[in-house]
Structure 1
């Protein structure tokens, strides 16, 4: 049986970053494989973009963040400000999603026009096993998740109030630039 999900990815923090990233993500479960495609346009050019699905481990449905989540009113919705509506970072879309190793340098890099396309086949059993180890369930519940695209150039001036450090990576790497609600599709 095949299950397919899609997310229409819309801009977040567009005014502050000077561009309006947008795109589409599709997730197709077939047998023991999850096929993921993500295509983005108008992202900050020549920049690596972390991308993940976020959600709540208890199964509560995640929602996309909007500028309403800018609780400190600094003009940016940073990673910590997304958590009340979107939950925690769960699965990265890097070179090995099933390892769930979030902080790394193996994410797509946008070209000079701000475009990138990502496509990968993920061993679903391996991903579910790692997901269960980390979150206590092997059910990915994609229809209760949101996808975030992150990352702005290091030379973009961000207010000191913008948070989101993850290990050695600062808020430039983790700043959300686009988000989409993952939904079941009949397509």
Structure 2
């Protein structure tokens, strides 16, 4: 029996980045395989887009960020401003989500129209083991998580008040551009 989850992704920071990213994500668990599919449109073109699910390590329900999370009033909702409602970055949607290796450059790149599709089959037992190791024996609990799509044009002028540097990756890489609540589907 397959367990199915979905998320509708809506724009975040669209007024500031000049595009309104939107899309759809699905997660299907069948035995030891988690199949992740994400289709995005309206993202900054020819740009790599980090994508993850975020949540709280204690299993608290994560919610999507909105303009209301712009705590410093600079007009941008940056990565740290999402944390009070969405929690922390947990699982990357890259070439090997089960490894839970987040800061790197192996994420999807949008085409010239700002579209991209992502599909990955993930060994659920390995992902669960690494997730529990990273988050104090917490379960994946997809229906308590939210998705973020990140990344804007590296030439976009953003104020110094926008935070989110991760390693050598700057705020252009980590700025959230779309988000969605993951929900269980019967």
Same fold (TM over 0.5): yes
Report the Cα offset of residue 138 of structure 1: 5.1
Unaligned runs of 5+ in 2: none
Equivalent position of 1:29 in the other structure: 29
Unaligned runs of 5+ in 1: none
Aligned structure 1 segments of 4 or more residues deviating by more than 2 angstroms: none
Instruction: Check whether the contact 1:21–1:178 (CA below 8 A) recurs between aligned residues.
Output: yes
Give the distance between the partners of 1:69 and 1:93, measured in 2 at CA.
Answer: 24
Give the distance between the partners of 1:2 and 1:101, measured in 2 at CA.
Answer: 27
Q: 1:1-187 alignment to 2 at 5 Å?
A: 1-137=1-137, 139-186=139-186
Give the distance between the partners of 1:57 and 1:5, measured in 2 at CA.
Answer: 20
Instruction: Give the RMSD, CA atoms, in angstroms.
Output: 0.6
Give the distance between the partners of 1:138 and 1:121, measured in 2 at CA.
Answer: 22
Give the distance between the partners of 2:138 and 2:176, measured in 1 at CA.
Answer: 26
Give the distance between the partners of 2:104 and 2:26, measured in 1 at CA.
Answer: 23
> Normalising by the residue count of structure 1, what TM-score does the alignment of the two structures yield?
0.98
Give the distance between the partners of 1:81 and 1:132, measured in 2 at CA.
Answer: 25
Report the Cα offset of residue 185 of structure 1: 0.7
Q: How many residues align?
A: 186
Instruction: Check whether the contact 1:129–1:138 (CA below 8 A) recurs between aligned residues.
Output: no
Give the distance between the partners of 1:81 and 1:138, measured in 2 at CA.
Answer: 23
The one-character-per-residue Cα deviations of 1:47-86 (angstroms, maximum 9, x if unpaired) are: 0000000000100000000000001010100000000000
**Which stretch shifts more, 167-176 or 132-141?**
132-141
Give the distance between the partners of 2:125 and 2:68, measured in 1 at CA.
Answer: 37
Give the distance between the partners of 2:137 and 2:170, measured in 1 at CA.
Answer: 30
The one-character-per-residue Cα deviations of 1:7-54 (angstroms, maximum 9, x if unpaired) are: 000000000001100000000000000000000000000000000000
Give the distance between the partners of 1:4 and 1:132, measured in 2 at CA.
Answer: 21
